[in-house]
Amino acid sequence: DAGITQSPRHKVTETGTPVTLRCHQTENHRYMYWYRQDPGHGLRLIHYSYGVKDTDKGEVSDGYSVSRSKTEDFLLTLESATSSQTSVYFCAIRRGPTYEQYFGPGTRLTVT
Amino acid sequence: SQQGEEDPQALSIQEGENATMNCSYKTSINNLQWYRQNSGRGLVHLILIRSNEREKHSGRLRVTLDTSKKSSSLLITASRAADTASYFCATAFPPSGNTPLVFGKGTRLSVIA
């Protein structure tokens, strides 16, 4: 599992509240990713990081921000959660030069 | 964004049969990867095939790549109930630097015992 943990694993929150999801890795990998997975859309990239304080937007970044102040942690923040952000969120790391990615167990977020 | 597209969207077979899934992509690639996702779990890397390879095997998995047709196929031989999962192909373009993987929408495989 490449030492990737996500917290929380499940969360229910109300519309308009801020939410922060945490991804933690133990293997010191440079690249980390946040995806969301929804029925009919597959896996879509939200943001990614290629080093401490180095981040970039993915396909569906609107409404999300990220921070990476140390190598092992990559945080995803929903500043003001909306019902459209109800989803399963996966964190991943890239191991090695061939772009193989390893995924965390996911966080199921419900915005009511 | 460049993306792989899997075909079919869903596939149902009997245990012991072979399962074939296809992936098409749009632009040149450095490699193509296949992942499996069991229900409620994260994706698991299965196999990577480089652009200069035509075929690769790993256990009961066989992957082919046809760069002229921009397509790949994943064959699972002698399928088992435990192979029931969704299967995704993924590519990165441009194939260098910080480019993240882009995943298709997946093929949902059901293997009936």
pLDDT in tens, A19-78: 999 999 999 899 999 999 998 888 999 999 999 999 999 999 999 999 999 999 999 999
- Residue A42: list chain B partners with CB under 8 A: 88, 103-106
Q: What is the CATH classification number for the domain harbouring A80?
A: 2.60.40.10
Reported residue count of chain B is 113
Task: Determine the straight-line distance between the first and last CA of chain B, rounded to whole angstroms.
Answer: 39
Reported residue count of chain A is 112
* CA atoms in the 13 A half-sphere facing the CB of B57: 3
Q: Of A40, A48, A104, which is closest to B100 when you measure between CB atoms?
A: A48
In this structure, what token pair is assigned to residue B97?
């630097």
- The model's pLDDT over B4-22, given as tens digits with 9 standing for 90+, comes to 788 899 999 999 999 999 9
Q: Indicate yes or no: CB of B43 within 8 angstroms of CB of A40.
A: no
pLDDT of residue B3 exceeding 80, the answer is no
- Residue A103: list chain B partners with CB under 8 A: 42-44
Number of domains, chain A = 1
Domain that holds residue A73: 4-111
CA distances from B100 to A19, A35, A101, B66 (A): 24, 11, 9, 22
Angstrom distance (rounded) from CA B29 to CA B10: 26
Per CATH, the number for B5-112 is 2.60.40.10
* Nearest residue on chain B to A41, alpha-carbon basis: B105
Q: Which of B5, B9, B86, B105 to mutate to test the interface with A (most CBs of A within 10 A)?
A: B105
* pLDDT at res. B63: 98
Q: What is the DSSP letter of B83?
A: G
Task: Determine the straight-line distance between the first and last CA of chain A, rounded to whole angstroms.
Answer: 31
Strands (E), B9-97: 10-14, 19-24, 31-37, 43-50, 55-58, 61-66, 71-76, 85-91
Domain boundary assignment for chain B? 5-112
Return the biggest CA–CA distance within chain A. 41
Q: What is the DSSP letter of A27?
A: S
- The model's pLDDT over B20-75, given as tens digits with 9 standing for 90+, comes to 999 999 888 888 999 999 998 999 999 999 999 999 999 999 999 999 999 999 99
- Residue B102: list chain A partners with CB under 8 A: 45, 59
> Which residues of A lie closer than 8 Å to B, measured between beta carbons?
31, 33, 35, 40-43, 45, 48, 50, 56, 58-59, 90, 92, 94, 98-106
Kindly tell me the number of DSSP H helices and DSSP E strands found in chain A: 0, 11
Among residues A9, A24, A12, A32, which one has the least CA distance to residue A85? A12
- Residue B40: list chain A partners with CB under 8 A: 106
Q: Indicate yes or no: CB of A99 within 8 angstroms of CB of B31.
A: yes
pLDDT range class, residue B96, cuts 50, 70, 90: low
In this structure, what token pair is assigned to residue A92?
């991943």
Share of chain B above pLDDT 70, in %: 93
